[in-house]
Structure 1
Amino acid sequence: MIEEAGLRVLECNWRDGRRGELDIIARDETDPACSWTVIVEVRTRVGRGKGSALASVDARKVAQLRALTGAWCRQRGRLDSRVRIDVVAITLSAQSLRQWPDVDRADVDVRALGAHAVWLRGVQ
């Protein structure tokens, strides 16, 4: 899904001590003249009982993502990079999980599980 969107994954699960983690750090190479570093926050929910995956990204979480993004840019010497934060919200049914017990594996395409995915670009 990430590569299909024209992104090249640079890092996954980057941690800044106890401050938190960035799920995916990628480069948007769809326009070579205007390349972006893209932070992708992945949220997953099973069913809708605890609210949507997208709704779980509140103002506090966005502030944390911004702080972590700044720390990553400083550590990697990319302070001049154009950066945006995207959210990929995935909702799976409980039935899908029973049919696919190895869903936690990174190589599983959740769309094959009947997942509903929403990609929100440029979270403010």
Structure 2
Amino acid sequence: MNRTQALGRYGEELAARRLTATGMHILARNWRCGRTGEIDIVARHGGTLVVCEVKTRRDGGFEDPMAAVTPRKADRLRRLAACWIDRNGVPDSVQGVRIDLIGIVLPRRGAPLLTHARGVA
């Protein structure tokens, strides 16, 4: 695993912990759908299925992680959500689907800064 992959895995672990702490139930992590791509985290929050994209950046000159969901990326996440539902079904209690973004910035010193944007696409 290279440094970029390790950074991403660390961020996904932080995100999963935060989602669980806020009452979400993690259904899948790093779920792949052929050539369409990967969902970082699939969770259930009450009656909502949540497809969560996680972006982790080191503090510095890189793009803010919250700018990561472009219209093209949002379309891909919608297709991935449909693929997950097609392959796994939807629990009876689920009434909707939401796409969230968790942006994590790792400062040079101090605790990671985590931002959770709900319903970004």
Same fold (TM over 0.5): yes
Matches within 5 A, 1:1-124: 1-29=18-46, 35-78=47-90, 81-93=95-107, 95-96=108-109, 114-124=111-121
| Deviation (angstroms), 1:19 | 1.4
Larger radius of gyration: 1
SS at match of 1:50: coil
Unaligned runs of 5+ in 2: 1-17
Where does residue 3 of structure 2 map in the other structure?
A: none
Query: What is the aligned length?
Result: 102
1:119 maps to amino acid: H
Quick one: percent identity of the two aligned structures? 36
Take 1:53 and 1:59, find their aligned partners in 2: how far apart are those partners?
15
TM-score of the two chains, using structure 1 as the length reference: 0.75
Superposition RMSD on alpha carbons, in Å?
Answer: 1.7
Unaligned runs of 5+ in 1: 30-34, 97-112
- Which runs of 4 or more aligned residues in structure 1 lie more than 4 Å from their structure 2 counterparts after TM superposition? none
